[in-house]
């Protein structure tokens, strides 16, 4: 685990900063976000993805057996998959005109959460290579978070 420590410490800082930026973006543009019925879900999706990634990185830094780590990470990773999936399903049902956008959001969300789920399962079976999958999930979460931040800060004003 020692060689992974610096990566996860850096990612804790990055995900915490981006999570704060998303919350600021939401608070600055709250009236505009609420004016578009599909955007509150997008905001929730961004917060869950980034906060989940922050928790993943934080939990990895706790010294513990790999199996315990895998179980804890699996719970967080499942939450990171389930909440956005629920938002996508609800948005899909309510807003027919937005289906193409939901496709891309769902793809990005799955690319973000599935590596963390795979990595967690590998860690449950004492396979340290699961950390490679976890790290990929965290990196995708940052990308997903940046896209959502852009939408909530810039695109909403167009």
pLDDT of residue 60: 97
The mean predicted confidence, pLDDT, of the chain is 91
φ, ψ at 95 (rounded to 5°): -125, 85
Give the containing element (helix H, strand E) for 57: helix 39-60
Average pLDDT over residues 69-75: 98
Q: What is the pLDDT of residues 100-146, one digit of tens each?
A: 577 888 899 999 999 999 999 999 999 999 999 999 999 999 999 89
Which residue's structure tokens are 């976890």?
Answer: 134
Q: Could you please report the per-residue DSSP string of 66-94?
A: HHHHHHHHHHHHHHHHHHHHHHHHHHHHH
The domains of the chain are located at 2-157
Output the pTM of the full model. Answer: 0.90
Q: If we measure between CA atoms, which residue out of 3, 130, 113, 138 comes closest to residue 58?
A: 138
Give the containing element (helix H, strand E) for 97: none
């Amino acid at each position: 685990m020692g060689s992974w420590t610096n990566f996860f410490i850096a990612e804790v800082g990055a995900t915490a900063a981006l999570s704060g930026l998303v919350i600021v973006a939401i608070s600055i543009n709250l009236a505009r976000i609420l004016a578009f019925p599909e955007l509150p879900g997008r905001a929730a999706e961004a917060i869950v993805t980034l906060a989940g990634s922050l928790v993943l990185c934080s939990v990895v830094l706790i010294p513990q057996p790999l199996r315990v780590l895998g179980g804890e990470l699996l719970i967080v990773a499942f939450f990171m998959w389930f909440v956005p999936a629920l938002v996508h399903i609800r948005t899909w049902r309510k807003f027919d005109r937005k289906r193409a956008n939901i496709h891309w959001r769902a793809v990005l969300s799955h690319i973000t959460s599935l590596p963390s789920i795979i990595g967690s399962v590998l860690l449950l079976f004492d396979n340290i290579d699961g950390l490679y999958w976890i790290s990929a999930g965290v990196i995708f979460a940052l990308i997903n978070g940046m896209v959502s931040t852009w939408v909530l800060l810039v695109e909403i004003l167009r």
